[in-house]
A and B are shown apart, each in its own frame.
Chain A
Amino acid sequence: MRLSLLSRRDLACQQVVELITDYLEGALSRAARRRFEAHLAGCPHCTEYLAQMRETIKLAGRIEPGDLTPQMRQEFADLYRRWQSGPQ
């Protein structure tokens, strides 16, 4: 698939979905990026797919850690105090 990028042939959707992360990471060459964007401009499905990959990243970024239990809070407070009061 990499080699075929060098050809002047238009990208197929099946290639575009494999290049999305390289695109988002800024890892495509300028030529590959132009071809990628040219494909998107004419392909609503791949445009939707790219939006979904961005949404996937956004949803993962919304995951927050759960609150520590009061017991864990206490254990870590104890750990900190032991550490503060001298070498372990």
Chain B
Amino acid sequence: MDPDAELLTRLRAGDERAFIALVQHYHEPMLRLAASFVPSTAVAEEVVQDTWLAVLRGLERFEGRSSLKTWLFRILVNRARSTGSREQRSVPVADPGPAVDPARFGPSGAWSDPPEHWIEAAEARVDAGKLADRVRAWIDDLPGRQREVVLLRDVEGMTSDEVCSVLELTEANQRVLLHRGRSRLRQLLENEFGEAR
């Protein structure tokens, strides 16, 4: 059984621990996502608090046509959007830059400065837990829309359909944002762990 579906059953049965487990799992990613729409951490916290209340109130009406996770994030984004526009924040625009610095390719478009190896060096650091913190900080620094897509797709493991529905994006735009965000993260990992061949 989908762990979220099990939580949902327990929540509806009035199991407080199920609610705490849900909050434990989603509160932090919801804060990170909300921060992308509103001007301050304090406002993001308010939006997430409001979202939890709305989740509890909506629990009975939730029909399970989407996953619990998609439903939670959709409530969050709707609230964050309306709060964000009330705060007159401009909408972040996708960065049209290339995935890799053009200076790393020769005139024919072949690598002149090929990717340095870093996978083994990064994997060696995984257990310390520090690497996850670095990657998280890098994701937080991505331009707004890229951050939203990478958070939901790669950190939360949503499908592209789910992400398009939550963020109201077309498939093509979602892919462009995902591509830019992932490419940027790959470059940061190379900068951090790369070994010149």
- The 0/1 profile, CB within 8 Å of B marked 1, for residues 7-30 of chain A is 000001111011011100101000
Contacts of A62 in B (CB 8 A): 126, 132, 135
In angstroms, Cα B14 to Cα A17, docked, is: 50
Cβ-defined contact, B189 with A56, below 8 A: yes
Number of residues on chain B facing chain A (CB within 8 A): 52
Which interface class (under 10, 10 to 19, 20 to 34, 35 or more) fits A? 35 or more
Chain B interface SS verdict (over half)? helix
If A62-B126, A63-B135 touch, whether A77 touches B24 (CB-CB below 8 Å) is no
Cβ-defined contact, A60 with B179, below 8 A: no
Does any Cβ of B come within 8 Å of A88's Cβ?
yes
Chain A interface SS verdict (over half)? helix
Does any Cβ of A come within 8 Å of B47's Cβ?
no
Does any Cβ of A come within 8 Å of B19's Cβ?
yes
**A interface residues (Cβ-Cβ under 8 A, vs B):** 12-15, 17-18, 20-22, 25, 27, 45-46, 48-49, 51-53, 55-57, 59-68, 72-73, 76-77, 79-81, 83-84, 88
